[in-house]
Chains A and B, each alone.
Chain A
Amino acid sequence: MTVILQSSVFDPGATINEFQKQSINCGAIVSFTGVVRNNEESNLKKLHIEHYPSMTKIAIEEMINVANKRWKLSNCLVIHRYGNLKVNEIIMMVVTASSHRVDAFQAAEYLMDYLKSRAPFWKKEFTDKGSNWVLSKETDEAALTRW
């Protein structure tokens, strides 16, 4: 079980390949990759991601611990970037490994839902029209209730 926080870019394909090599006796690997998308109303020049360094890793490890109790995982990886990102760059990745796909899928979804609104990251968009902090969505908060 690994949590990596970094400002630098990473290769999701190579990450999955390496993860698979390290995940012994698993029958299923599920991954989710988050990508910076353009702003619908104005061109996104950059996305700045701020985080709370001494809390972020602890909060994500706690999410993984809970997922590990609920589903049978043989391995799990979360990578999340911070700093300045451009459109189409990879923001983050969740990879889960299990004997069967249902556990791997559900644990990945659970982790994504919790990363959205319980991991201490904040995004600021810089566009043609200025800058603004991305607001949290009620739907993201509501998504937690299904777990």
Chain B
Amino acid sequence: MKLEMIRILYFSWIREGVGASEEKLETKSENVKELINELKLKNEKYNSVFSKLDNIRVAVDQKLVNFETSIKNAEEVAFFPPMTGG
């Protein structure tokens, strides 16, 4: 299966938890859930941040989506907590 290069962004306490605001990853993951499982294997920081998904939201190419959403052909995936604008 072809590896795709994807840009991953982290915000708020997720950024602090993984210790990076963005990174590039070559991945075979086909959807967000698979990508999360792949990230959790990287190290304990990722494993801890993504241990519970209730407080995590995701956007694929700047659009808010759910964890089942495909990331095939996506350029950017962003993980962040529920938003607190206004």
Contacts and interface: CB of A to CB of B under 8 A. Distances in A.
Interface residues of A, number: 26
A86 to B, nearest CB: 18
Contacts of B12: 50, 122, 124, 133
Contacts of A54: 62, 76
B36 interface: no
Interface string A105-122: 000000010011111111
Contact of A115 (B11, B63, B78, B86): B86
Contacts of A55: 59, 62-63, 78
A121 to B, nearest CB: 4
A80 B83 CA distance: 14
B62 A115 contact: no
A54 B31 CA distance: 21
Interface residues of B, number: 17
A52 B83 CA distance: 11
B5 interface: no
A120 B83 contact: yes
Q: Is the interface of A mostly helix, strand, loop or mixed?
A: mixed
Interface in A8-67: 34, 50, 52, 54-55, 58-59
Contacts of A52: 9, 11, 59, 62, 78, 80
A80 B11 CA distance: 18
A122 B62 contact: no
Contacts of A123: 84
Interface string B42-85: 00000000000000000100111000000000001010111111
Interface of B: 9, 11-13, 59, 62-64, 76, 78, 80-86
